Amino acid sequence: MLETSKDLLNLVIAFCILWFTVFLCWVIYYFAMILRKINEVMEKVTLTLDAVTDFFKKAKEKMDKTASSVSVLLELGKKIFNIVKEKQEEKKTSKRKVVK
């Protein structure tokens, strides 16, 4: 089978190429797994950022609605205050007329 040293050299080179190929496949596999994990993490980060963005959008919408409601209530409060103030002034003027 092994007639010359060249045959032995070819056998050793073939064996080294085999192990190098196995090592290269192993490296490629783990590199692909690392990239897969990175992709999963990026998807989770994207979903989290989308959820945070949606939360702040909804909070802003609710604050806008609340602000418009509060402004309406403030206007209503001013009108009620003016009406009550007018009534009190009318009572004061009517009491003054009765006392005179």
List phi, psi (to 5°) of 4: -130, 170
- pLDDT, greater one: 67 or 8: 8
- What is the predicted pLDDT for the residue at 66? 85
Confidence of residue 93 (pLDDT cuts 50, 70, 90): confident
* Farthest-apart Cα atoms in the chain, separation: 144
Confidence of residue 97 (pLDDT cuts 50, 70, 90): low
Cα–Cα–Cα angle for 64, 70, 72, nearest 5°? 110
- What is the predicted pLDDT for the residue at 14? 97
Residue-by-residue DSSP string for 23-34:
HHHHHHHHHHHH
Stretch 16-30: mean pLDDT, rounded?
Answer: 98
- What is the predicted pLDDT for the residue at 96? 67
- What is the predicted pLDDT for the residue at 98? 61
Global model pTM greater than 0.75: no
For 33-87, what is each residue's pLDDT tens digit?
999 999 999 999 999 999 999 999 999 998 888 887 888 888 888 999 999 988 8
Both ends of the chain: CA-CA distance in Å?
141
